[in-house]
Amino acid sequence: MTPFDKAQGGPRDFPVIFDFSVPGRVGSSYPNPDVPDTPLEQLIPASQLRKEPAALPEVSELDVVRHYTRLSHRNFSIDEGFYPLGSCTMKYNPKIHEDAARLAGFARLHPYAPAEGAQGALRLICELEELLAEISGMDRVTFQPAAGAHGELTGLLMIRAYFETRGERRTKVIVPDSAHGTNPATAAMVGYQVVTVKSDARGNMDVRALREVMDGSVAAIMLTNPNTLGLFEEPILDVEEIVHHAGGQLYLDGANFNAVLGVTRPGDQGFDVMHMNLHKTFTTPHGGGGPGAGAVGVKAHLAPFLPVPVVERDGERFRLDDQRPQSIGKIRAFYGNFGNLVRAYAYIRSMGADGLRQVAETAVLNANYLLARLRSRFDLPYDRLCKHEFVLSGARQKRQHGVATRDMAKRMLDYGFHAPTIYFPLIVEEAIMIEPTETESKRTLDEFADAMLAIAREAQDDPEVVKTAPHSTPVKRLDEVRAARQPDLRWRAR
């Protein structure tokens, strides 16, 4: 029995909330007005009054509870099982963090509450900045970005402002061919031309190729380290030398920070600015696609450009400072995804220095263990020690048995696991990117490895079962082409 049997919709379509709607039914309870019942037309011009009420469903409270509970059963979460999505750091999200973030003093605090009424929240932000500055080796940290990509935007905007104040016109940003799609997309949003540099045979940035393109027109290089192949950039010091020598800035995409906590600090590697995905390394739950929180750390020379406001400490008093004339401005309203800052703060305080180091060591141990167990049955394009994740290739299965990586990923679902990240990074054919994280036990890793090996055997002995997978999920393989050709993006009354 798979975990999904209970949620199978059977032969029928699983209903949408609108299907339960019955005219006149209600699901909420609000008081009648305790203020005068003035006719609405006296409060608002008739032309502004809504003519047709919004066609929201008319359902009871139990309808709502049951529908969304059933939907939750048609989902897959870390709470339910192993989630080895490479690059996403799907580690356990502690329950105590949820209690902490929901304390009324945090959850019910208005962002414009006067500073004297927000000292606890401001202290938390300030202390979290101090903790992450130490962990990353950066001088200042902002928490305004809502996610990693938003952090990239913030970082590149600061770099752009930095060169503007120096009177330098630089037009390019270098991105390795293994980079995540957000890197080039961000560079374009900040008006930079993207120069792609290829990776070398060991999976490192190709230093010779970098030398060729690096000159005074390059504002920055965006590096991920460990990179998206799960490999530490061995020539990091050469890269640092080349980029800084030409006056460029080093940006770190810190999506993979989990691998090196307490082992090496990006600030000490020479990075000028980095983002940290608090929703990866620092356990804030992904929520099915967000909210995240992107913290951005900078060296002192970029600090004047941080988005406003920053939290400043005067002894034991805390205040918001938005009088920063060189700031890039604001990248969202208010101060960031504060609820996730509470969670990240709680995590760091509960781990301490020794705990964080164990995180990195165990994440790397787990990844190398899985790699050792799987390497004989899959192609391994870069055969080196990996860090917190590694990238296999399904090329052999594709070539020999016509079974694509996509098929094997779908088959993983039948075994009760989420699939690894697939087809990323783009430079690996039929890529399978596996990140176990430190919160998984050896038993879970073994079960997963056994499943991967079984699927490799199936690809050989019974390819059809893999190609038509999944077989035990609430729905069978979905027609993505149809979804894109005939977009149906909203429910309409029939």
Partner 1 sequence: MTPRGRGGNVTTGVERRTQHKYIPATDAEREEMLRTIGAASVEELFADIPSRVRLDRPLRLPPALSDPELMAQLRAMADANVHSDRAVCFLGAGAYDHYVPSVVWHLAGRGEFLTAYTPYQAELMQGELQAGYEYQSMLCEITGMGVANASMYDGASAAAEAAVMAKDLTGRGEVLVSTAVHPEYRQVIRTYTAPLGLRVTEIPYRHGLTDLDAVARALSPRTAAIIIQHPNFFGCLEDGAACAELAHRAGALLVCAVAEPLSLGILEPPGAWGADIVAGEGQPLGNHLNFGGPYLGMLAARQEFVRRIPGRLVGATVDAEGRRGFVLTLQTREQHIRREKASSNICTNEALLALAAAIYMASLGKAGFRKVSELNLRKAAYAREAIREIPKFGLAFEAPTFNEFVVRTPLAPEEINRRLLAAGILGGAPLGRWYPELSDAWLVCVTEQRTKAEIDRLVALLEGLR
Give min distance, CB of 279 to partner 1, in A: 7
* Piece in contact with ligand PLP (CB under 6 A), picked from 33-41, 141-149, 207-215, 439-447: 141-149
253 interface partner picked from partner 1, ligand PLP, none, CB below 5 to 8 A per type = ligand PLP
Task: Check binding of 156 to ligand PLP (CB under 6 A).
Answer: no
Give the residue, chosen from 292, 307, 336, 416, that forms a contact with ligand PLP under the rule CB under 6 A: 292
Site for partner 1 in 49-108 (CB under 8 A): 49-51, 53-59, 61, 64-65, 67-69, 71-80, 83, 85, 88, 90-94, 96, 98-100, 102-108
Task: Check binding of 264 to partner 1 (CB under 8 A).
Answer: yes
Instruction: Output 77 or 460, the one with its CB closest to partner 1.
Output: 77
Q: Are strands 310-314 and 317-321 parallel, antiparallel or unpaired?
A: antiparallel
Instruction: Output 229 or 371, the one with its CB closest to ligand PLP.
Output: 229
Sign of CA dihedral 110, 286, 77, 342: negative
Q: What is the largest CA-CA distance in the chain?
A: 78
Site for ligand PLP in 294-323 (CB under 6 A): 294
Site for ligand PLP in 177-196 (CB under 6 A): 180, 182
Give, in degrees to the nearest 5, the angle at Cα 56 between 51 and 59: 130
* Position closest to ligand PLP via CB: 148
Give min distance, CB of 458 to partner 1, in A: 18
> Which one-letter amino acid corresponds to residue 296?
V
Give min distance, CB of 90 to ligand PLP, in A: 11
Torsion of CA 72, 74, 79, 80, to 10 degrees: 150
Task: Check binding of 382 to partner 1 (CB under 8 A).
Answer: no
Give the residue, chosen from 200, 209, 291, 460, that forms a contact with partner 1 under the rule CB under 8 A: 291
Site for ligand PLP in 363-392 (CB under 6 A): none
**Contacts with 56 (C-beta within 8 Å, 6 or more apart), sequence order:** none
Give the residue, chosen from 141, 153, 243, 310, that forms a contact with partner 1 under the rule CB under 8 A: 153
- Among 143, 126, 119, 140, smallest CA distance to 317 is for 119
Residues 258, 364: Cα–Cα separation, whole Å: 9
In the shown chain, the binding pattern of residues 215 to 254 toward ligand PLP, with x for contact by CB under 6 A and - for none, equals ---------x---x------------------------x-
The count of other CB atoms within 10 Å of the CB of residue 334 is: 12
Contacts with partner 1 by CB under 8 A: the residue count is 205
Sign of CA dihedral 141, 147, 150, 151: positive
335 interface partner picked from partner 1, ligand PLP, none, CB below 5 to 8 A per type = partner 1
Instruction: Output 214 or 231, the one with its CB closest to partner 1.
Output: 231
- Asked if 101 and 343 touch (Cβ cutoff 8 Å), the reply is yes
Residues 491, 494: Cα–Cα separation, whole Å: 9
26 burial (CB, 10 Å; 0-12 / 13-18 / 19+) is exposed
Kindly report the backbone phi and psi dihedral angles of residue 286, in degrees, each rounded to the nearest multiple of 5, phi listed first.
Answer: -80, -20
Task: Check binding of 200 to partner 1 (CB under 8 A).
Answer: no
DSSP 457: H
- Asked if 173 and 423 touch (Cβ cutoff 8 Å), the reply is no
87 interface partner picked from partner 1, ligand PLP, none, CB below 5 to 8 A per type = ligand PLP
Instruction: Output 63 or 435, the one with its CB closest to ligand PLP.
Output: 435
- Asked if 133 and 376 touch (Cβ cutoff 8 Å), the reply is no
Q: Which residues on neighbouring strands pair with residue 276, listed in sequence order?
A: 295
Instruction: Output 72 or 400, the one with its CB closest to partner 1.
Output: 72
Instruction: Output 147 or 348, the one with its CB closest to ligand PLP.
Output: 147
Token code pair at residue 322: 């938005």
Sign of CA dihedral 455, 456, 461, 463: positive
Task: Check binding of 87 to ligand PLP (CB under 6 A).
Answer: yes
Task: Check binding of 147 to ligand PLP (CB under 6 A).
Answer: yes
**Binding residues vs ligand PLP (CB under 6 A):** 87-88, 147-149, 180, 182, 224, 228, 253, 255, 277, 292, 294
